[in-house]
Amino acid sequence: METARSGRRTAAPGTCTAFARFVLCGGGVGVASSLAVAALAVLIPWGLANALITAVSTLLATELHARFTFGAGRHATWRQHTQSAGSAAATYAVTCAAMLVLHQLAAAPGAMLEQGVYLSASALAGVARFTALRLIVFARTTTTRPAQTTATMPTARAAAPATAAELCRAA
């Protein structure tokens, strides 16, 4: 990929490096999101709070992943945002299902248990999301250009003399 500032091609980070960056960026956004969902759920229904926070955090995380995690060094495209939103929708479904199961099993779970279940479900969905983002959304396509044929060019002549004395000698 070319970076916007230097015009140089940068190598895609290895899987381990990309995963570490994914955990740092996505995990940081995920932890902040879980706290935001809990805070917002006091004011509005939990499902709506989760949907709103998921939408905002997906936009933020997609930008971070485009610029840093997968080494593109530039803004995410609309296509990448759209594809990332699809994986976020699956994450939303997993977290909602986990919380629904928790509330079916425990009548009044504490905040720590809710956070633990939410973060565990997010982590499981995150591994699947990393795989989808790496292999589909931010996959680097390599285009092979046809080999350029070298046309036979006449050999370059010596540079023409520049001063009048050199021109007279050359004549």
User: How far is residue 5 CA from its own chain's centroid?
Assistant: 19
β-sheet bridge partners, residue 9:
2
Cα–Cα–Cα angle for 71, 18, 99, rounded to 5 degrees: 120
What is the number of alpha carbons within 13 Å of residue 102 lying toward its C-beta?
20
pLDDT tens, the chain, 171 aa long: 444 444 444 567 788 888 988 888 888 888 898 899 999 999 999 889 988 998 898 889 888 888 888 876 778 888 888 888 898 888 889 988 999 999 999 988 999 999 999 889 988 988 888 898 888 888 865 444 444 444 444 544 545 554 555 544 544
Judged by DSSP in three states, 9 sits in strand
Residue 25's closest CA among 54, 85, 67? 67
